[in-house]
Amino acid sequence: MLRGRKVGLRPLESKDSWLLHKWFNDQRVLEDLGATNTPFCVSMERELQIVDETIANKSKRYFMIQSLEGSRDIGLVGLSKIDFRSASAELVVLIGEIDCWGKGLGRDAIGVVLHHAFARMNLHRVYLRVADYNERAISCYKASGFQVEGKLRHDHFHKGAYRDALIMSILKDEFGGLSDA
């Protein structure tokens, strides 16, 4: 298990499908993601298939976020679109347990996965896409060291209007967490 100050990260397993099914079918969790292709209301069988495909995919590395206090699974974090030639990957993070929002657990999980990406996987750049109205997430990413690179105009449809998304990234030499190792 990879450990931070508040959370631990363990590899995603098939048995986690039921929890992901719960989170990805909770409109409160999905509300501000600005997701463009997240399946909503998939069957449990399809969720298991998605998780198994994700585990087998070499360009993805996903972890379940566990709070160290109580060893409870609270979210998902990982790297997708891993490109070892360009030494880059896309960060994906979701805190699925609503009672855990706003407690710094997501930020800690991001720090742990960035340390893994830069120190263990030798990546150079980690980037992400975030809806421009998701102020809580943007604040968390900025506090983690991410910088805004640009804007995807009218990237997705949300609450009756086309909305923008931001592209943010952090480079290995900008990540202060490597000195913590």
- Quick one: which of 129, 115, 28 has its CA closest to 63? 115
Residues 6+ apart with CB under 8 A from 106: 65, 75, 77, 93, 95, 140
Does the pTM of the predicted model rise above 0.85?
A: yes
Q: Over the stretch 49-59, which tens digit does the pLDDT of each residue have?
A: 999 999 999 99
What does the pLDDT look like over 78-126, one tens digit per residue? Answer: 999 999 999 999 999 999 999 999 999 999 999 999 999 999 999 999 9
Q: What residue ranges define each of the domains in the chain, with the CATH number in brackets?
A: 2-180 (3.40.630.30)
CB–CB of 113/63 below 8 Å?
yes
pLDDT tens digits for range 122-181: 999 999 999 999 999 999 999 999 999 999 999 988 888 999 999 999 999 999 876 554
Pair 29, 98: CB distance under 8 Å: yes
pLDDT of residue 181: 43
Residue 28 backbone phi and psi in degrees, to 5: -65, -35
